[in-house]
């Protein structure tokens, strides 16, 4: 069975015969079905008649730095490393789709039968699915690394297909095949190839902004004595008066046709269509590059013909000479290319196997979706290619980059330890040196590979870099991601690599600040924060809020499950540090004056940081004391600080105040910043506190900075004082008093941090800390309770209205899916309440019936344009300033239309614009408006546009997280929250009626996510994760979505795998009998891996029993469903100590 798992990619068809099943996939079934087929031993999925669907976008991936984004219309962008090394232009996804006719594949065939009948065939010419003489199918491999387009001409019984593949050695491969399925010979005059090839050296920005200038520098040439096309710039495109050579080129070559005519552009295509055969092009200037093959041939009945076109970028003269020699010296290039493609396929399979992405279930769609989820999670978060074995040379490079002094002191000793060390041994060695900086860097070191930011043409604001190898071809360990993204992917990765959980926690905590927040981006090389770029309207600064708590908490929970007691044992370990982000939270009075302008960028501190980085390395971005030493602190203090920061912004009966210039998970709610209050964060904060209680309970004495102790004590006294005021409900004046007190407590602490921590150490007992936890939970639980709506759902966000410094009121916002997920996850709901919430959710306005899934918030109609800017006539009083201003030409404030109705000037966007227009009017016309006129204008402007209710992009656009959109990540968060409720209900032995309802809701939500939908309804391949589904389109933004993390975790939950107190257990509570594959001997099995150890479920009606096959060859039989801690630890260690696990199990579901 171990060998079976390792070969699932090529040999398994769930017991079915595997063939090159193009014909079955295209002739059987309808577009309503996603069809599974085997092509050359590989699993593919086919959408038949895909051209009748709206075009959709796909992310085709490789095992290396090759990448491709392609539309179902055939338009594509592809290249290596990033968008600046593109072979085909990198545009946004809409342009790639729209430009399908001029970028990518191009094919024309003149067909003639023996009777003289002729026909011109242009496969894949956009007919919107109306051409009844053709059938079109699209195939995508289960590994998402191959895509095949196919068109069958029904009149001529011809089939043409082309596919895109990756070869790390050769580059981007296009394979084409023409099949004569008729019973007669046919003559073919063919022009086939690719178009719009970019010269090397053309960056994304250059192509998007100055593509016409790029064309002026293009030079395409055919190399002498070979069929290699060379596409280059005649010089680097600069405006400086200096010579600048362009010494890199893109290449294209082909195999399959003998002596074809080669075209380097599309200039002769029109002539070919008009009956004139093309002549070879050897040198083309100032034209978009192409590589087209012209050939006349005869194809016999039942015969086929294949050919390849191979493209590569960034080739120098020496690379092209080597390529020509290789092409000349190999007689079977076709096989050589395919061998390298297959090599990459196997490598990708090994990556997925290491990350537990390979499963063999009778529900092949679930297995395929899990594989995709693991693949894209690995692409975002990375993989550990060497497991827990640390390459000492790479670790020394890491040290040198981060801290030059530490590297100088210890590299020599480290290199003496050998080429590699197990991580545990490395930690022991570094701890023994007594150098806390070395030990800190060792704890946080993550030898990740394959990671990149989730950028693609549908997310052009994120820039991706696939940094997998150096110039010498050696593997590079690297990772990069936005803070709010990469840690969630690490959570799913940690399930399979638990030995790195403490490293992930350390990386998280070491990159968080002393005032309780985190930077924007995290990479292997350090941290980055946002800065204001004057010419970029998207640039801004601030701290994102909720991700701190829940992402950290999920890692902490995993640590406690796999390694119980480890956190409590390390709580006093002073091996953690602070990021020194040069943001300064303003004093509380300034926050009250303008809650949307609360953070100042400290340019002087940035200058100091830059100097430290230059001198010391990336550790220069950490917090140093006045003596020039990095400040280190305890794990316990690092866990307390974000909690104290959130509690300092607690709004009674409202949630956590969003006043750090950035929103939460749904950044489309960006206008909630300042006046928004989050119940989402408060729910997660409750779960965080409840988790930390036993971790801190038995501490006798925790070392913390004296400033932190003072902060906690001040907060405790505030909560104690207000807890004594009964009842818990507060009027607006008392609420404002509490807000003031909490805000000033944070101010007292922050000012000490910004001035420089004193270095004095204080002590906190476990009793003091947990007593503080208990106190705050009474407030949190009360606020959660009062945010329950009458319909049994929960508020997600509220609005805070401040009346100077005397009163604070809270108003509820409209319903949001986030609030339900957070409430289910908080730990406050009983099973009955959870069932009631889910029942109510399905009956709510959040339910979108066509996709049987849930919106982020109820859809609503925005005003038609002609009704958007109308000042109500009844508001125009006799004393109104409106008619007076309208009589003044070009007043810039209001206008009167031909019907006598009034409107604000079309240049005004918001109240600040209006204030500016009033000021400009007064200067321009020398008139000072009465203060009452100011008030009236602002009042009417708000009445017309209602900006106080503005939540951000979410309420004004129709894609992404906008109106009538399903955001699949949040739906998967809902799925996970329901699964957690099911597990908790089992543990509490709740009535079966509750459990049945929870399970029913679980699988309904799961079905809505897309796996079991038709391609037409889903809008793409249902086996692939996508980010969102707007109201008017299918699934959008392929692959690199945060959803994959939750789906991986819930998949293991469905399989019944759980970890508690360091022990692996198996349960059939969510397991479906239909997933088991019948075997020839009458048994039925379900196979997957966990921590890279194959697990074979055997369908059983008897009591559960486990058989462990050790790596040494012996077996251990265990009664029951739990593997003891010692054996479980062998699984976690991934060292071959356990070769395979067999489990007799009885599913509880059909």
State yes or no: pLDDT of 952 exceeds 90.
no
Per DSSP, what are the bridge partners of residue 261? 294
Query: For 496-526, how does the pLDDT look when each residue is reduced to its tens digit (9 = 90+)?
Result: 999 999 999 999 999 999 999 999 899 999 9
State yes or no: pLDDT of 558 exceeds 90.
yes
Task: Say what the pLDDT of residue 462 is.
Answer: 85
Better-scored residue on pLDDT, 190 or 225: 190
Task: Say what the pLDDT of residue 129 is.
Answer: 62
- The answer to which of 480-484, 542-546, 701-705 has the lowest mean pLDDT is 542-546
State yes or no: pLDDT of 538 exceeds 80.
no
Query: For 246-280, how does the pLDDT look when each residue is reduced to its tens digit (9 = 90+)?
Result: 999 999 999 999 999 999 999 999 999 999 999 99
Q: How confident is the model at residue 22 (pLDDT cuts 50, 70, 90)?
A: low
State yes or no: pLDDT of 24 exceeds 80.
no
Report, as an integer, the average pLDDT of 207-231: 94
Report, as an integer, the average pLDDT of 1064-1082: 95
Can you tell me the distance from the alpha carbon of 697 to that of 768, in angstroms, rounded to the nearest whole number?
9
What's this model's pTM, rounded to 2 decimal places? 0.95
Q: How confident is the model at residue 7 (pLDDT cuts 50, 70, 90)?
A: very low
Identify whether the C-beta of residue 262 lies closer than 8 Å to the C-beta of residue 281. yes
Task: Say what the pLDDT of residue 309 is.
Answer: 98
Query: For 615-627, how does the pLDDT look when each residue is reduced to its tens digit (9 = 90+)?
Result: 999 999 999 999 9
Report, as an integer, the average pLDDT of 1002-1027: 95
Q: What is the CATH number of domain 2-354?
A: 2.70.98.40
Residues of the chain within CATH 2.70.98.40 domain(s) are 2-354
Query: For 174-191, how does the pLDDT look when each residue is reduced to its tens digit (9 = 90+)?
Result: 999 999 999 999 999 999
DSSP-assigned states of every residue in 525-594 = TEEE-----TT-TT----B--HHHHHHHHHHHHHHHHHSTTHHHHTTT---B--B---EEEPPHHHHHH-
Please enumerate in sequence order all residues whose Cβ is within 8 A of that of 355, keeping only pairs 6 or more positions apart, or say none: 374, 377, 378, 383, 493, 496, 497
Q: How confident is the model at residue 97 (pLDDT cuts 50, 70, 90)?
A: very high
Q: What is the mean pLDDT of the chain?
A: 93
Query: For 1024-1034, how does the pLDDT look when each residue is reduced to its tens digit (9 = 90+)?
Result: 999 999 999 99
Joined tokens for residue 953: 């992009």
423 sits in the region (left: phi over 0; alpha: psi -120 to 50; else beta) called alpha
Task: Say what the pLDDT of residue 903 is.
Answer: 97
State yes or no: pLDDT of 6 exceeds 80.
no
B/e letters for 330-367, b = 16+ CB within 10 Å, e = fewer, are eeebeebbbebbbebbeebbbbbbbbbbbbbbbbbebb
Task: Say what the pLDDT of residue 128 is.
Answer: 63
Query: For 361-391, how does the pLDDT look when each residue is reduced to its tens digit (9 = 90+)?
Result: 999 999 999 999 999 999 999 999 999 999 9
Q: How confident is the model at residue 856 (pLDDT cuts 50, 70, 90)?
A: very high
Pairing between β-strand 853-854 and β-strand 847-848 as defined by DSSP bridges: antiparallel
- The answer to which of 206-215, 535-544, 913-922, 1086-1095 has the lowest mean pLDDT is 535-544
Query: For 377-427, how does the pLDDT look when each residue is reduced to its tens digit (9 = 90+)?
Result: 999 999 999 999 999 999 999 999 999 999 999 999 999 999 999 999 999
Q: Tell me the CA end-to-end span of the chain in Å, nearest whole number.
A: 25
Task: Say what the pLDDT of residue 29 is.
Answer: 41
Identify whether the C-beta of residue 963 lies closer than 8 Å to the C-beta of residue 955. yes
Nearest Cα residue to 466 out of 391, 382, 545: 382
Better-scored residue on pLDDT, 286 or 725: 286
Identify whether the C-beta of residue 1030 lies closer than 8 Å to the C-beta of residue 959. yes
Q: How confident is the model at residue 669 (pLDDT cuts 50, 70, 90)?
A: confident
Pairing between β-strand 283-285 and β-strand 389-391 as defined by DSSP bridges: unpaired
Can you tell me the distance from the alpha carbon of 984 to that of 1055, in angstroms, rounded to the nearest whole number?
16
Cα R_g (the chain), whole angstroms: 32
Task: Say what the pLDDT of residue 1104 is.
Answer: 76
State yes or no: pLDDT of 727 exceeds 80.
no
State yes or no: pLDDT of 9 exceeds 70.
no
Better-scored residue on pLDDT, 846 or 118: 846
Task: Say what the pLDDT of residue 31 is.
Answer: 57
Task: Say what the pLDDT of residue 5 is.
Answer: 41
Better-scored residue on pLDDT, 353 or 12: 353
Per DSSP, what are the bridge partners of residue 421? 390
State yes or no: pLDDT of 301 exceeds 50.
yes
Longest CA–CA span in the chain (Å) reads 100
Better-scored residue on pLDDT, 671 or 966: 966
State yes or no: pLDDT of 26 exceeds 60.
no
> In 857-1001, at which residue ranges do the beta strands (DSSP E only) sit?
894-896, 902-904, 966-967
Identify whether the C-beta of residue 1048 lies closer than 8 Å to the C-beta of residue 491. no
């Amino acid at each position: 069975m171990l060998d079976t798992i390792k070969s699932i990619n090529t040999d398994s068809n769930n017991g079915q015969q595997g063939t090159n099943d193009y014909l079955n996939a295209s002739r059987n079934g309808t577009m309503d079905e996603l069809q599974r087929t085997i092509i050359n031993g590989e699993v593919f999925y086919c959408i038949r008649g895909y051209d009748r669907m709206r075009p959709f976008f796909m992310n085709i991936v490789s095992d290396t730095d090759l990448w491709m984004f392609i539309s179902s219309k055939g338009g594509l962008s592809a290249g290596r490393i990033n968008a600046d090394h593109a072979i085909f232009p990198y545009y946004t996804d809409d342009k790639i789709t729209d430009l399908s006719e001029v970028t990518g594949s191009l094919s024309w065939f003149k067909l003639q039968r023996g009777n003289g009948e002729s026909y011109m065939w242009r496969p894949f010419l956009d007919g919107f699915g109306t051409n009844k003489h053709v059938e079109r199918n699209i195939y995508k491999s289960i590994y998402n690394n191959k895509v095949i387009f196919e068109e069958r001409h029904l009149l001529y019984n011809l089939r043409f297909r082309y596919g895109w593949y990756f070869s790390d050695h050769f580059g981007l491969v296009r394979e084409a095949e023409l099949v004569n399925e008729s019973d007669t010979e046919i003559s073919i005059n063919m022009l086939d190839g690719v178009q719009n090839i970019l010269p090397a050296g053309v960056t994304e920005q250059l192509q998007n902004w100055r593509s016409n200038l790029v064309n002026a520098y293009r030079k395409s040439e055919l190399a002498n004595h070979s069929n290699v096309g060379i596409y280059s710039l005649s010089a680097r495109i600069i405006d400086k008066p200096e010579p600048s050579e362009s010494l890199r080129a893109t290449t294209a070559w082909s195999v399959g046709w003998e002596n074809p005519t080669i075209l380097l552009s599309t200039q002769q295509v029109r002539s070919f269509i008009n009956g004139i055969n093309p002549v070879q092009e050897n040198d083309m200037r100032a034209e978009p590059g192409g590589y087209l093959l012209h050939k006349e041939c005869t194809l016999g009945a039942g015969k086929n013909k294949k050919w390849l076109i191979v493209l590569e970028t960034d080739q120098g003269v020496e690379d092209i000479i080597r390529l020509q020699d290789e092409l000349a010296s190999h007689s079977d290039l076709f096989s050589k290319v395919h061998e390298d493609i297959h090599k990459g396929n196997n490598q990708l399979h090994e990556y997925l196997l290491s990350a537990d992405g390979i499963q063999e279930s009778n529900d092949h769609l679930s297995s395929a979706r899990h594989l995709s989820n693991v693949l894209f999670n690995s692409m975002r978060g990375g993989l550990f290619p060497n497991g827990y074995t640390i390459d000492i040379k790479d670790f020394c490079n890491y040290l040198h980059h981060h801290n030059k002094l530490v590297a100088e002191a210890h590299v020599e000793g480290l290199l003496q330890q050998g080429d590699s060390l197990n991580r545990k041994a490395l930690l022991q060695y570094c701890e023994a040196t007594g150098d806390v900086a070395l030990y800190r860097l060792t704890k946080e070191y993550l030898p990740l590979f394959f990671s990149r930011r989730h950028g693609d043409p549908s997310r052009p604001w994120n820039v991706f870099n696939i940094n997998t190898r150096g110039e010498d071809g050696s593997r590079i360990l690297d990772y990069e991601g936005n803070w709010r993204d990469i840690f969630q992917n690490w959570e799913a990765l940690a399930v399979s690599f638990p030995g790195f959980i403490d490293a992930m926690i350390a990386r998280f905590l070491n990159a968080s600040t002393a005032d309780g927040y985190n930077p924007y981006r995290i990479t292997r090389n350090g941290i980055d924060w946002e800065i204001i770029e004057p010419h970029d309207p998207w640039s801004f600064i601030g701290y994102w809020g909720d991700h701190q708590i829940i992402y950290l908490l999920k890692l902490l929970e995993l640590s406690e499950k796999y390694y119980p007691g480890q956190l409590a044992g390390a709580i006093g370990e002073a091996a953690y540090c602070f990021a020194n982000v040069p943001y300064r939270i303003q004093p509380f009075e300034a926050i009250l004056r303008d809650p949307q302008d609360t953070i100042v960028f400290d340019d002087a501190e940035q200058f100091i940081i830059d100097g430290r980085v230059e001198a010391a390395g990336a550790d220069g971005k950490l917090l140093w004391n006045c003596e020039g030493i990095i400040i280190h602190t305890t794990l316990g203090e690092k866990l307390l600080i974000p909690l104290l920061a959130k509690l300092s912004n607690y709004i009674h009966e409202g949630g956590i105040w969003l006043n750090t210039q950035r929103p939460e998970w749904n950044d489309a709610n960006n206008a909630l910043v300042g006046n928004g209050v989050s119940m989402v964060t408060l729910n997660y904060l409750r779960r965080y506190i409840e988790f930390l209680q036993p971790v801190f309970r038995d501490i006798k004495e925790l070392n913390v900075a004296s400033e932190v102790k003072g902060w906690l004590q001040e907060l405790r006294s505030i909560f104690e004082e207000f807890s004594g005021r009964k009842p818990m409900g507060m009027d607006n004046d008392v609420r404002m008093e509490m807000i003031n007190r909490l805000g000033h407590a944070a101010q007292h602490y922050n000012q000490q941090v910004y001035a420089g921590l004193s270095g004095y150490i204080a002590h906190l007992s476990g009793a003091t800390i947990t007593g503080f936890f208990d106190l705050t939970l009474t407030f949190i639980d009360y606020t959660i309770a009062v945010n329950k709506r009458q319909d049994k759902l929960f508020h997600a966000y509220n609005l805070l209205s401040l009346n100077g410094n005397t009163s604070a009121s809270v108003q509820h916002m409209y319903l949001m899916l986030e609030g339900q997920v957070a409430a289910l996850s908080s730990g406050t709901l009983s099973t009955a309440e959870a069932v009631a919430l889910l029942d109510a959710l399905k009956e709510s306005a959040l339910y979108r019936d066509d996709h049987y899934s849930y919106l982020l918030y109820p859809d609503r109609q925005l005003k038609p344009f002609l009704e958007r800017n109308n000042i109500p006539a009844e508001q125009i009083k006799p004393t109104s300033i409106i008619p007076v201003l309208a009589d003044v030409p070009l007043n810039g404030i209001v206008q009167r239309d031909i019907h006598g109705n009034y409107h604000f000037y079309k240049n005004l966007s918001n109240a600040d614009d209006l204030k500016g227009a009033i000021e400009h009017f007064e200067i321009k016309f020398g008139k000072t408006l009465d203060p009452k006129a100011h008030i009236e204008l602002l009042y009417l402007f708000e009445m017309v546009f209602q900006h106080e209710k503005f939540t951000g992009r979410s309420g004004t656009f129709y894609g992404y997280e906008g109106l009538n959109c399903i955001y699949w990540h949040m739906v998967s968060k809902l799925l996970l929250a329901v699964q957690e409720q099911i597990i908790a209900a089992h543990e509490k032995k709740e009535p079966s009626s509750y459990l049945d309802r929870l399970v029913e809701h679980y699988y309904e939500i799961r079905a809505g996510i897309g796996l079991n939908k038709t391609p037409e309804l889903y809008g793409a391949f249902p086996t692939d994760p996508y980010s969102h589904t707007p109201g008017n389109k299918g699934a959008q933004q392929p692959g690199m979505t945060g959803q994959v993390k939750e789906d991986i975790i819930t998949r293991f939950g469905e399989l019944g795998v759980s970890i508690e107190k360091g022990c692996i257990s198996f349960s059939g509570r969510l397991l479906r009998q239909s997933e088991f594959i019948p075997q020839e001997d009458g048994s039925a099995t379900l196979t997957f891996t966990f921590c890279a150890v194959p697990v074979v479920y055997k369908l059983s009606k008897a009591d559960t029993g486990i058989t462990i096959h050790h790596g040494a060859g012996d077996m251990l039989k265990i009664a029951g469903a739990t593997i003891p801690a010692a054996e479980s630890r062998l699984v976690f260690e991934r060292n071959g100590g356990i070769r395979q696990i067999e489990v007799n199990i009885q599913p509880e579901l059909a």
